[in-house]
Amino acid sequence: MSKINVAVLGATGSVGQKFIELLANHPWFELIEVAASNRSAYKKYGEAANWFMQTPMPENIKNMEVKECIPNLTAKVVFSGLDSGVAGEIEEKFASAGYTVISNSKNHRNDVNVPLMIPEVNADHLAMLKNQSTGYIVTNPNCSTIGMVTALKPLYDKFGIEQVNVVTMQAISGAGYPGVPSLDIYDNVVPFIDSEEPKMEKEPLKILGKLNSSNKVEFADIKISAQCNRVAVIDGHTECVQIKFKKKPTKEEIIEAWTSYRGEPQKLNLPSAPKQPIHYFEENKYPQPRIHRNLEGGMAVSVGRLRECPLFDFKFVVMSHNTVRGAAGGTILIAELMKEKNLI
């Protein structure tokens, strides 16, 4: 099978670097172009990027010339790791020029015709692309939303959900590079992440919503309250979740719903898909970011500490890798799903 040529926008940033790392040996996609801001354009990538991934910079990328983020690239499929301050207009220009833009940025997540995708959760939302013209924009959700909604999906389908309360403990890598100053985060918890709580309260309603006959989303009817905190963990967002169900299940039924759940990526055996998207742990001290964030290449979601709640029905802890599952890896998985659905 010949590979599909792809490019990365915002290639020198933290998400852009993770895209490059994960695409280095991808069986379906060939990274042929990188693009970034004007201060990096026309330099060799090895000179423009302050590489801080744990694996070495791919040799074939080092001498690749960084291009401008304008729609004159050869690759017609682009992954966007652009900063939200510039992503919106740039992504629109690429889509208008006929490119397929698969974005990790927040700018178009709430657009009425743009899918907000977790492939295991709402693969059918790709039908929204019928309402777009020329090119496509598809978005990856907020990194903290992804872990929670993946855990909610099988429970929502089986038992219905009325209310959710979530308190997050989010890793510093979620702030990008150089991120949170050490004097702010060391020996500390920062109880505020700009615009994070509104995302967690709104995005799940679109993701769990149903498409109507016009391929537009009718949002799920769930009340969600979120409190988001930055903690001194490098990778891996941990979230404490409380749920009130429409039809209260037993603990055993919840665990069975999690462990048996498989989505479209598992059925299609997509290259980046975890074999089991949700792993449940009985141990009281699990899940933990340092132990479980790299489970199934960082693409699986870990849950544990399931118990009854005196205020809601049940409560549990969920943990996911924010820069892999929650950013570049999740976005690449969307592209894999689109490829199998003959959309790219």
CA 234 to the chain's CA centroid: 17
Distance, in Å, from the CA atom of 72 to the CA atom of 62, rounded to the nearest integer, reads: 21
DSSP secondary structure string, 186-208? TT--B---TTHHHHHHHHHHHHT
CA 32 to the chain's CA centroid: 23
The set of catalytic residues is 143, 237
Element housing 179 (H / E): none
- Those residues with Cβ within 8 angstroms of residue 310's Cβ, 6 or more apart along the chain or in another chain: none
DSSP secondary structure string, 208-276? T-EE-TTS-EE----EEEEEEEE-S-SS-EEEEEEEEESS---HHHHHHHHHH---HHHHHT-TT--SS
Element housing 109 (H / E): none
Distance, in Å, from the CA atom of 253 to the CA atom of 62, rounded to the nearest integer, reads: 51
Alpha helices in 28-142 (DSSP H): 45-48, 59-62, 84-96, 119-122
Distance, in Å, from the CA atom of 77 to the CA atom of 72, rounded to the nearest integer, reads: 12
Distance, in Å, from the CA atom of 12 to the CA atom of 81, rounded to the nearest integer, reads: 9
- Those residues with Cβ within 8 angstroms of residue 303's Cβ, 6 or more apart along the chain or in another chain: 151, 258, 278, 279, 280, 281, 287, 316, 317, 318, 319
